[in-house]
């Protein structure tokens, strides 16, 4: 038998295994014609609240909307500063800028890729109102330290859990809390390639705060709590019932999916752990890792040449992320220049993510690891 084509994410093979259940769920929605705000959305919301052990899940249209609505719910004013890491996907800073708030970027920790607490400390000013940590690649930031810092300075914490759903953080008192449920508000994305992905766009907001939940629900629904009475300026952002039907099925397998990703990561770790040209992803002490990405740091390896040589062998490999936020054209700002965030800049130059998904076979993993080792020799 020939080996299946290697992809960064293999959603077809994953779907094959749950096809009957997913198709039945979608068919139910079609038969009911309750496409928007249907029962499926509420069913999924309740299932996710239970899985996360959080009081409120508010489904929305996508992860970027989730971040925007979360920030809107805090009632911040133009000029208020929001701290976020510079080594991440653009969405976090984008919504801050769109709302007329001031994004303040900070450096990250070299080992975990996550927001550096020391760097946050230095960035806090009297105008700082919120911190948005991004749990990058599937591992929670150092939330215990971050929450303590936020409390000391009376700041909101909004977690970007778009890559980390299902990751668990253990506090020093032994409390275990799901990613996105530690700060004031958590945000996630159900973009197809995310760890819990639907068949289009989707997202959700998490909170244990009743008052914030009420505001968030209203903002996501045109600022309306009573129909056609608009108390605040809102947006239109909702998860549709077909996506909820898909997610309801996939949520049942999320723990299996996480285990499959961790197994693939273990395989990579074993193969690369002793190679001085490759640094395997560090596993944080207090957080489990759900491996949205498996990201190597290359030491003295020509990254473009490695990518090309892998590509010739049918192995995709991606650079997440090639340019930190403070060096992006759209966000160029007299406050920042190259060299300001040396860790993020170094990471942008040396990271390489390998195929990571729930369906990687041992045969594929063997082929990938062998090819990588051959290419860096
Ligand atoms: C995917 C992602 C988002 C945005 O989610 P969308 O659903 O694509 O809007 C935001 N932040 C991070 C870290 C992400 O990975």
DSSP labels, 253-283: THHHHHHHHHHHHHHHHHHHTT-TTEEPPPP
Task: Establish whether residue 188 lines the binding site of ligand 1, counting it when its CB lies within 6 angstroms of any ligand atom.
Answer: no
| Number of Cβ within a 10 Å radius of residue 51 | 17
Q: Are strands 156-160 and 128-131 parallel, antiparallel or unpaired?
A: parallel
Residue to mutate (ligand 1; options 69, 91, 193; most atoms within 8 A of CB): 91
pLDDT, tens digit only, all 377 positions of the chain: 689 999 999 999 999 999 999 999 999 999 999 999 889 999 999 999 999 999 999 999 999 999 999 999 999 999 999 999 999 999 999 999 999 999 999 999 999 999 999 999 999 999 999 999 999 999 999 999 999 999 999 999 999 999 999 999 999 999 999 999 999 999 999 999 999 999 999 999 999 999 999 999 999 999 998 888 888 999 999 999 999 999 999 999 999 999 999 999 999 999 999 999 999 999 999 999 999 999 999 999 999 999 999 999 999 999 999 999 999 998 888 899 999 999 999 999 999 999 999 999 999 999 999 999 999 98
CA distance 70 to 64: 10
Helices 241-251 and 39-52 sit at what angle, rounded to 10 degrees? 30
Task: Establish whether residue 183 lines the binding site of ligand 1, counting it when its CB lies within 6 angstroms of any ligand atom.
Answer: no
CA distance 150 to 242: 38
Residue 74 lies in a domain: yes
For ligand 1, the distance from its centroid to the CA atom of residue 103, given in whole angstroms, is 17
Q: Are strands 156-160 and 185-189 parallel, antiparallel or unpaired?
A: parallel
For ligand 1, the distance from its centroid to the CA atom of residue 369, given in whole angstroms, is 28
For the domain that residue 333 is a member of, what is the CATH number?
3.90.1150.10
Q: Are strands 224-226 and 229-230 parallel, antiparallel or unpaired?
A: antiparallel
Q: Whose CA is nearest to atom 2 of ligand 1?
A: 162
| Structure token digits, residue 89 | 């996907």
Task: Establish whether residue 63 lines the binding site of ligand 1, counting it when its CB lies within 6 angstroms of any ligand atom.
Answer: yes
Do residue 129 and residue 269 come from a single domain? no
Residue 5 lies in a domain: no
Task: Establish whether residue 191 lines the binding site of ligand 1, counting it when its CB lies within 6 angstroms of any ligand atom.
Answer: yes
Do residue 247 and residue 267 come from a single domain? no
Do residue 213 and residue 296 come from a single domain? no
DSSP labels, 199-246: SS--EEEEES-HHHHHHHHHHHBTTEEETTEE-S---B---BHHHHHH
Residue 150 lies in a domain: yes
* Structural domains of the chain, count: 2
Atom of ligand 1 nearest to the CA of 190: 7
Residue 49 lies in a domain: yes
Do residue 207 and residue 260 come from a single domain? no
CA distance 179 to 326: 26
User: What is the per-residue pLDDT across 66-118, written as a single tens digit (0 to 9) for each?
Assistant: 999 999 999 999 999 999 999 999 999 999 999 999 999 999 999 999 999 99
User: What is the per-residue pLDDT across 9-29, written as a single tens digit (0 to 9) for each?
Assistant: 999 999 999 999 999 999 999
For ligand 1, the distance from its centroid to the CA atom of residue 275, given in whole angstroms, is 32
For the domain that residue 99 is a member of, what is the CATH number?
3.40.640.10
| Structure token digits, residue 281 | 């992803």
Range(s) of the domain holding residue 126: 11-251
Among 217, 251, 285, residue at a domain's last position: 251
Among 251, 285, 303, residue at a domain's last position: 251
Residue 205 lies in a domain: yes
Do residue 80 and residue 212 come from a single domain? yes
Do residue 126 and residue 234 come from a single domain? yes
Do residue 159 and residue 64 come from a single domain? yes
Do residue 212 and residue 337 come from a single domain? no
Among 209, 233, 251, residue at a domain's last position: 251
The structure's pTM equals: 0.97
Do residue 291 and residue 164 come from a single domain? no
pLDDT at residue 1, as a whole number: 65
Residue 95 lies in a domain: yes
- Comparing C-alpha atoms, which of 371, 377, 275 is closest to residue 314? 371
Residue 4 lies in a domain: no
Helices 241-251 and 11-32 sit at what angle, rounded to 10 degrees? 130
Do residue 310 and residue 222 come from a single domain? no
Atom of ligand 1 nearest to the CA of 194: 1
Do residue 194 and residue 309 come from a single domain? no
Do residue 244 and residue 353 come from a single domain? no
Task: Establish whether residue 85 lines the binding site of ligand 1, counting it when its CB lies within 6 angstroms of any ligand atom.
Answer: no
Residue 2 lies in a domain: no
How many CA atoms does the CB half-sphere of 268 hold within 13 Å?
26
Q: Where do the H-state alpha helices sit in the chain?
A: 11-32, 39-52, 63-73, 91-98, 117-123, 143-152, 210-220, 241-251, 254-272, 303-312, 342-350, 362-376
Q: Give the residue carrying structure tokens 């809102």.
A: 234
For ligand 1, the distance from its centroid to the CA atom of residue 32, given in whole angstroms, is 30
């Amino acid at each position: 038998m020939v080996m299946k084509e290697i992809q960064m994410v293999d959603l077809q093979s994953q779907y094959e295994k749950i096809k009957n259940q997913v198709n039945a769920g979608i068919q139910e929605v079609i038969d009911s014609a309750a496409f928007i705000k249907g029962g499926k959305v509420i069913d999924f919301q309740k299932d996710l609240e239970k899985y996360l052990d959080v009081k409120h899940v508010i489904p929305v249209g996508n992860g970027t909307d989730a971040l925007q609505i979360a920030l809107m719910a805090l009632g911040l004013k133009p000029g208020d500063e929001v701290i976020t890491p510079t080594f991440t996907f653009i969405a976090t800073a984008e919504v801050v800028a769109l709302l007329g708030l001031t994004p303040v970027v900070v450096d990250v920790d070299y080992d975990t890729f996550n927001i550096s607490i020391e760097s946050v400390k230095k960035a806090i000013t009297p105008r700082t109102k919120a911190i948005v940590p991004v749990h990058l690649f599937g591992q929670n930031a150092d939330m215990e330290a971050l929450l303590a810092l936020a409390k000391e300075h009376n700041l909101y914490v909004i977690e970007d859990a778009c890559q980390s759903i299902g990751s668990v953080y253990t506090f020093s008192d032994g409390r275990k809390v799901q990613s996105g449920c530690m700060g004031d508000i958590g945000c996630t994305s159900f973009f197809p390639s995310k760890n819990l992905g639907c068949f289009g766009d989707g997202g959700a907001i998490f909170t244990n705060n009743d008052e914030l939940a009420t505001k968030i629900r209203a903002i996501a629904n045109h600022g309306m709590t009573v129909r056609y009475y608009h108390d605040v300026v809102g947006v239109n952002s909702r998860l549709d019932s077909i996506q909820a039907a898909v997610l309801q099925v996939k949520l049942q397998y999320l723990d299996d999916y996480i285990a499959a990703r961790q197994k693939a990561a273990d395989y990579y770790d074993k193969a690369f752990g002793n190679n001085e040209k490759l640094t395997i992803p560090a596993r944080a002490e207090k957080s489990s890792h759900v491996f949205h990405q498996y990201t190597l740091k290359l030491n003295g390896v020509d990254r473009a040449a490695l990518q090309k040589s892998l590509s010739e062998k049918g192995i995709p490999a991606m650079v997440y992320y090639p340019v930190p936020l403070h060096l992006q054209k759209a966000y160029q700002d007299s406050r920042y220049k190259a060299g300001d965030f040396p860790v993020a800049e170094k990471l942008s130059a040396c990271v390489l993510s390998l195929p990571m998904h729930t369906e990687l076979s041992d045969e594929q993993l063997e082929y990938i690891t062998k090819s990588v080792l051959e290419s860096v020799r």
